[in-house]
Amino acid sequence: MKLSPPTRVSEPLVAAGLTPTAEPRRAIRRPPRRRLGVWQWFLLLVVLPTVALAGYFVFVAADVYESEARFLVRNRSSSAAGGGSTGSGDASAGGRMAALSALTAARPGQDEARAIMSYLDSPAALIALRREVDYVSLWRAPEADFLARLWWEQPPLEWMLWYFRRRVAVEQDADTGVLKLRVQAFQAADARLLAQQVLRISEALVNTLNDRLTADALRVAQEDVDKSEQRMVNAREAMIAFREREQAFDPQATAGAQVGTISSLQAALAQARTDFAERRAFMRPDNPQLQALQNRISALQAQINAERERSTRGDERLTQQVAAYERLDLERQLAERQLASATATLETARTDALRQTVFIARISEPHMPETATYPKATFNTFTVFLSLSVLFGIGWLLVVSAREHAA
């Protein structure tokens, strides 16, 4: 009996009595991926960004002008310190003081210079500069390109400060202490105007610092003068009240006059008694001369008693009156001396404050730029090309090394 081969593909060959013959499978070959070469990657990652940047610098970027000014912050004490010279002889102490003064004056106004640099980097400088010039309009000039210009018509203070720091810079020379101000704008006249106004607000800051320094230095001295003047007024008023109450302009002079009068009367009384004793020895008791001497002695004694009565005033004696007057006069003298000392201290403090005042010495005024300083197209393009080339070389070496380790 002959078996027929299977008519359906789903029937197994074993059921039909046939042994299947295995045919070898053919491997499906996929087309190899085409990888970019090193030069293609170089063109894509290095050359193309460099060409785009060069095109921006050449066709889009606006010219930026920079105005520069140089100034120095000094104080008057530093100028006076180096002006004196010591003579020959014993100049050891004077020479050391002169050398110390010279060293102190070698770096004048360093704290104030740092204060100006910090001030120009703060929002306070923007607020003060806004009163002088409309810097928003200057930095939004039609000549400016989109990337370089100020983007906001009414920028917030924080964003404006960020842009201000890009356009205004202050640097200090560590050796000479000279401050260099650089201001950028899209027009030469605008750059010079901004630089002048920045210098003006810097000088206003220095004047404010001087006013505060002078006020602080003179406040305490002026308070001492006011107290001394009040003490002097009180002492004089007490003296006037005493004179009106006691009806005596100068009790010391009055007491001196009274003591002198009593002394002269006592001397005359002593002389009269001596004459009376001498004449009584050889004259009769009823002699008119003795009677006259007796009357003189009585008159002198009565006058002395009257002067002594006049020197007393109730229970208060002349000595107490003089003591009270001396206390008032001593208070007046002390008040006068205190007022003189406080006045001298005030003048000294005023002189010291004037010596310590700070001012800005302009070395060079803001100039009118003739050519644009930025953008530096050639330098920036070459720098970007060189930087991208170095980064590309480093990255390509890392890729090649990773492939070798993977193989």
**Rounded distance between C-alpha atoms, residue 101 and residue 152, angstroms:** 52
- In the predicted model, is pLDDT for residue 75 greater than 50? yes
> Which has the higher per-residue pLDDT, 12 or 62?
62
Q: Identify the band that residue 84 occupies on the pLDDT scale cut at 50, 70 and 90.
A: very low
Residue 348's H or E segment, with its range, is: helix 318-355
- In the predicted model, is pLDDT for residue 134 greater than 60? yes
CB atoms within 10 A of CB 277: 10
Residue 345, helix vs strand vs coil: helix
Closest CA to 97 of 109, 82, 112: 82
> Which has the higher per-residue pLDDT, 367 or 81?
367
Answer for the pair 188, 112: CB distance below 8 angstroms, yes or no: no
What is the structure's pLDDT at 25? Answer: 55
**Rounded distance between C-alpha atoms, residue 138 and residue 366, angstroms:** 17
What is the structure's pLDDT at 289? Answer: 74
pTM: 0.60
What is the structure's pLDDT at 92? Answer: 41
Contacts of 181 (CB under 8 A, 6+ apart): 68, 69, 70, 71, 168, 169, 170, 195, 198, 199, 366
- In the predicted model, is pLDDT for residue 253 greater than 60? no
Closest CA to 366 of 65, 64, 62: 65
Answer for the pair 289, 279: CB distance below 8 angstroms, yes or no: yes
Least confident of 44-58, 228-242, 377-391: 228-242
Answer for the pair 257, 378: CB distance below 8 angstroms, yes or no: no
Q: Identify the band that residue 87 occupies on the pLDDT scale cut at 50, 70 and 90.
A: very low
What is the structure's pLDDT at 60? Answer: 86
Q: Where are the domains of the chain?
A: 251-351
> Which has the higher per-residue pLDDT, 229 or 315?
229
- In the predicted model, is pLDDT for residue 207 greater than 70? yes
How far, CA to CA in Å, does 164 sit from each of 126, 156, 167, 199?
8, 12, 5, 15
At 367-378, the pLDDT tens digits run 999 888 888 888
What is the structure's pLDDT at 24? Answer: 53
- In the predicted model, is pLDDT for residue 130 greater than 50? yes
**Average pLDDT over every residue of 283-304:** 75
Which runs of E-coded beta strand occur in 107-195?
168-172, 179-185
